[in-house]
Amino acid sequence: MENFPPSRQSKLVTVQRHLMEEQSLHQGATGQFTSLMWDLILAFKIISREVNKAGLVEILGLTGEENVHGEQVKKLDAYAQDRMFKAMDHGGHLCVMGSEEEEEIIPIPPEFPKGAYVLLYDPLDGSSNIDFNISIGTIFSVYKRVSITPTGDGTLEDCTQIGLHQVAAGYCIYGSSTMLVYTTGRGVHGFTLDPSVGEFLLSHENIRIPSAGKVYSINEGNALSWAPGTKAFMHHLKETDAATRRPYSLRYVGSLIADVHRTLLQGGIFLYPEDTRDPDHPRSKLRLMYEANPMAFLTEQAGGIATTGTQRILQVKPDGLHYKVPLVLGSPYEVQLYQKFIKDHSPVATPH
């Protein structure tokens, strides 16, 4: 605690105070980023309020529209997208946004000033679970702009940087409680919303993922689509693992935020590998820019590993805003073991 101001030692720390203290640790910080995060936090509070009463207000169900991925758009999806845009479009911190719900990049309206940052987000990830009261959430990823344009507008280049260039990432999970988990590259910190005062209070300071776990998280229904290395790894986990003398348990929510949140706190491994049934055209589901990259930044900052199986997620170069990748993340023990299985079962692997 010696490198944090005395206030942090009282533990009653709001996320706003945490951000101010983080800002004081960054030489030359202008406050633009802190102000951007405050706007984001307001959006999370508003979305949380609607999500937590969705069953009571007629905003469950479908809008009848489809998003860029051909997925049915749920009313709460559309509401969350609208809230995020309206909270973030006028603060003067952003030059452009990218959303899971919009095919193209989202310009800042001409009447508002442009800033130095770029925001990528999934306004309501896991929304297929909305009607079943399963945890869902908002995922966000922040970059500094790399483009220079006469109007100040950001570009697609700004929105398709590699994950290593993220300046912040996190999620807000709307579950049994509403929690904000974020990193700015100085560890991972969790804040739980106290609805009675409307404040996110520090509840999980410096989250560290266990070096090994007891849980694996994967959609077993896709087993026939897995590559040989993934099949061998999953079989291994179901036997008694020699190093741990116990089989693993399966926990799979089908909501990325919920599965990653549990993995960060409990350890183990989360996998969404590619579908290899057409070996010439392997297919992935999770999107790099607003799902895999932010989760990878958080995982690495918490002491874990995040990979495609053969490449560090944060080094993957996207070919577009909605580029999809296989995602495997979690405790170093399990993820390194997975990487070994993939290597040993790859077509180019040479027999020992």
Alpha-carbon gap, residue 296 to 316, rounded angstroms = 11
Which residue of this chain has its Cβ atom nearest to ligand P6P in the complex?
256
Q: How many other CB atoms are there within 10 angstroms of residue 151's CB atom? A: 10
Residue 41 binds ligand P6P (CB under 6 A): no
Shortest Cβ 64–ligand P6P spacing (Å): 19
Residue 126 binds ligand P6P (CB under 6 A): yes
Shortest Cβ 70–ligand P6P spacing (Å): 12
H-helix or E-strand spanning residue 25: helix 15-25
When the beta carbons of 128 and 266 are compared against ligand P6P, the nearer one is 128
DSSP SS3 for 24? helix
DSSP SS3 for 119? strand
**Interface with ligand P6P (CB under 6 A), residue from 22, 125, 158, 199:** 125
Q: How many other CB atoms are there within 10 angstroms of residue 312's CB atom? A: 15
Shortest Cβ 177–ligand P6P spacing (Å): 19
Secondary structure (DSSP) of 252-305: --S-HHHHHHHHHHH-SEEEE--B-SSTTS-B--EEIIIIIHHHHHHHHHTT-E
Residue 32 binds ligand P6P (CB under 6 A): no
When the beta carbons of 24 and 133 are compared against ligand P6P, the nearer one is 133
Binders of ligand P6P among 279-308, rule CB under 6 A? 285
**Interface with ligand P6P (CB under 6 A), residue from 23, 128, 149, 192:** 128
Binders of ligand P6P among 221-260, rule CB under 6 A? 254-256, 259
Contacts of 89 (CB under 8 A, 6+ apart): 97, 108, 109, 112
Shortest Cβ 335–ligand P6P spacing (Å): 17
β-pair partners for 121: 99, 140
- Return residues touching ligand P6P (CB under 6 A): 125-126, 128, 219, 254-256, 259, 272, 285
